[in-house]
Amino acid sequence: MKEKIYTIPVNDAFAESSICPICSLKNQLNSQLGAYYLGASLMEPDVRKTTNEKGFCGDHLDQLYHSEMNRLGLGLMLHTYLSGLSDELKVDLRNSLPGRRTGVFQNRKKDFRQVLKQAAKKLQARTDTCVICDRISQTMNRYLEVIFHEYFANPVFRGHFDQVKTFCLPHTAWMLNGAADHLNQDQVAVMMGALVETQISSLEKLTQDVEWFTLKFDYRNHDKDWKDSKDAIPRSITRLKGSTSGKGSD
């Protein structure tokens, strides 16, 4: 059962996605986790303990707020998080401030810069944590293992993988790094060889589409066919940065 929890979404993403299938997996997971933390789970003690400790990053706070799913629940989580944060930081922040010197050498603190930086570091550590980001990272690492396993164990999945032309650059790098950690040399040669050649070919086509898009603004090409260039700009942006909307094609 546990294997199916990870295998099914991976196979579905590669069979159905019109965008980068890794982006599709991540977007779906992001939506599910947003709904989870605004659902009944927010009243569970272990979940509340985690959200109090880690909080949410700026992007996920915006996501939770604009979903308008459960403003009361979000308010309750923020209240307990801010209460703990306030109690923790007010001492650290006040202690980080040096007193004014009363003379050339009186009340002089040589380490006041280091104390300030330590306070800033502690504050930054609190703002850098996010319970949703952590869950996404953990699950995506599991998905990566499933992708590698399925490629060599499932011929249908392998066929879908080899035909994908829409891997975004960030997730292409993600898979190359994963291959270095999980695959042997022969496996890398086969799987990443197929990936690299497909991505090079599709990037060359995308480059040609963008070029033709620009050339269409020349009056001499006004009556010529747009070919595949009308949406070349948004496709290029999605390819370069990945998709966060679940929309797009290449």
Residue of higher predicted confidence among 71 and 112:
71
pLDDT at residue 113 in the model: 85
Looking at the domain assignment, is residue 76 inside a domain? yes
Say if residue 141 is in the same domain as residue 187.
no
Looking at the domain assignment, is residue 160 inside a domain? no
CA distances from 223 to 78, 112, 207, 228 (A): 57, 70, 21, 15
pLDDT at residue 140 in the model: 96
Looking at the domain assignment, is residue 239 inside a domain? yes
Rounded to whole angstroms, the Cα distance separating 41 from 46 reads: 9
pLDDT mean across residues, the chain: 89
Say if residue 12 is in the same domain as residue 133.
yes
Say if residue 43 is in the same domain as residue 121.
yes
Question: Which DSSP letter does residue 150 get?
Answer: H
Report the percent of the chain where pLDDT is more than 90.
72
1-34 CB burial, b ≥16 within 10 A, e <16: eeeeebbebbbebbeebebbbbbbbbbebbeebb
Say if residue 26 is in the same domain as residue 127.
yes
pLDDT at residue 5 in the model: 79
* 146-170 pLDDT tens trace: 999 999 999 999 999 999 988 999 9
Q: Predicted confidence band at 107 (pLDDT cuts at 50, 70, 90)?
A: low
Neighbours of 148 (CB within 10 A): 18
Looking at the domain assignment, is residue 206 inside a domain? yes
Q: Which domain holds residue 235?
A: 165-250
Q: Predicted confidence band at 59 (pLDDT cuts at 50, 70, 90)?
A: very high
Rounded to whole angstroms, the Cα distance separating 25 from 147 reads: 12
Say if residue 1 is in the same domain as residue 114.
yes
> Given a cut of 90, is residue 94 above it in pLDDT?
no
> Given a cut of 70, is residue 109 above it in pLDDT?
no
* 14-45 pLDDT tens trace: 998 678 999 999 999 999 999 999 999 988 99
pLDDT at residue 54 in the model: 93
Of 123, 152, 181, at which residue does a domain stop?
Answer: 152
> Given a cut of 60, is residue 172 above it in pLDDT?
yes
| Residues 26 and 59: beta-carbon distance below 8 Å | no
Looking at the domain assignment, is residue 158 inside a domain? no
Say if residue 12 is in the same domain as residue 119.
yes
Say if residue 48 is in the same domain as residue 147.
yes
Say if residue 84 is in the same domain as residue 173.
no
Say if residue 173 is in the same domain as residue 147.
no
Report the percent of the chain where pLDDT is more than 70.
91
Say if residue 144 is in the same domain as residue 176.
no
Looking at the domain assignment, is residue 214 inside a domain? yes
> Given a cut of 70, is residue 101 above it in pLDDT?
no
pLDDT at residue 68 in the model: 82
Looking at the domain assignment, is residue 193 inside a domain? yes
Neighbours of 208 (CB within 10 A): 14
Number of domains in the chain: 2
Residue of higher predicted confidence among 3 and 163:
163
Residue of higher predicted confidence among 246 and 215:
215
Neighbours of 143 (CB within 10 A): 21
